[in-house]
A and B are shown apart, each in its own frame.
Chain A
């Protein structure tokens, strides 16, 4: 018998995490409610005569995604901290990076699921014309989700065994979210304003670069965060 490789074991871990989330639905529903509440609150606080929908919507969208995503990220290692399940995972003969990749894949599904509901809700509430920009907008969402999840998964693992995990995770992760959220918001603004996709390329390149750097660096650093 030989243990599965990195990708196969990461897939097993991701599938297990998604099965747990599917059974409990606690984090997903919380994140969804938070997203929808944020969109509604911003909507009622908005003065359309002062700020146009196209100027406000990208900011609302990315603030919402950033904070709702943190709920899922915190939960991903919370299930391992419960009753010491992390030890059973660490003793298994799988590469430690597989734990990171598995958790990140499950977190990505979580964040994309929340985005999949919150984005149409935002479009409906703010009546922004997305038109033909849907595919590009979805591309921006996916690229940004990859970066947020990579950084968030690392810090969620790092803070999981601390007493103040709920507080430490946003404090540590949010500064690293900035290089992801900024180009994502800029690209979203251009797409919602009906500008040609080519005008967003510069922002998308920055987003892609940070995705690659963060995903690779976080995967390398992750095993060092696991020792007590």
Chain B
């Protein structure tokens, strides 16, 4: 069976600068890669390449064996970003239902309800997004990302704006999705949260993986020392 997510020698150049420089990785069902690195290391660009939002200068990204950005590959992806990616004039429910319909779900309203309940936002779902706090907006954004039951989740600083309750709900949800067979890539600055979820961990610097290993058995404190030494 093809890996859920596959990056093969991904390179992306912006104006002569190699933002991503030969990244390769592969994730099977139930695996989670936590991607760490300082600002400008190329983490977000890597994630955008894996989402099909950017075309690689060379190399290729595949999801479920299909080369991105083919719609058949995008169908599998749920994207959570530090930006909410919502329409402020619409309610949370309308935002999520719009996505459910774009993915052609047979019962978009039911799927929307389930996603909103999973993020504990159902009672505020009929309020325009602009009237919600940043944390509530992020919960709606996560509900939008998971409404179609993606088996690949790409999360770029997903804890942005979330309070403690929201952060633990998100961790529980990501763990549940991973145990259900989803492959997850999490970009984060928070080593503890990332390692708690991950089956693999990587540190990026200068567009490359400078360290990439199984996360099992990694001590967060020792890993933090390694991280600081590598990115210093």
Mark A residues whose CB is within 8 Å of B.
Answer: 1-4, 9, 12, 16, 19-20, 23-24, 79, 82-85, 87-95, 227-228
Contacts and interface: CB of A to CB of B under 8 A. Distances in A.
A84 B148 contact: no
A87 B85 contact: yes
A212 to B, nearest CB: 27
Nearest to B79: A91
B106 A1 contact: yes
Contact of A91 (B53, B86, B90): B53
Interface string B37-74: 00000000000100111110000000000000001101
Q: Is the interface of B mostly helix, strand, loop or mixed?
A: loop
Contacts of B74: 91-93
Contacts of B87: 16, 20, 79, 82, 85
Q: Is the interface of A mostly helix, strand, loop or mixed?
A: helix
Contacts of A92: 74, 99, 102-103
Given A87-B83, A92-B99, 5 more contacts: A85-B86, A87-B85, A89-B102, A93-B102, A228-B48
Contact of B51 (A20, A91, A93, A95): A91
Contacts, number: 85
B144 interface: yes
B113 interface: no
Interface residues of B, number: 33
A3 B71 contact: yes
B90 A16 contact: yes
A93 B75 contact: yes
B114 to A, nearest CB: 14
B85 A90 contact: no
Contacts of B71: 3, 93-95
Interface string B79-100: 1010111111110001000110
Q: Which of A12, A79, A82, A227 has the most CB of B within 10 A?
A: A82
A19 B94 contact: yes
Give the 5 A-B CB pairs with smallest separation, nearest first: A84-B83, A93-B71, A93-B75, A88-B85, A92-B102
Nearest to B154: A91
Contacts of B25: none
A87 B47 CA distance: 12
A91 B52 contact: yes
Nearest to B102: A92
Nearest to A5: B104
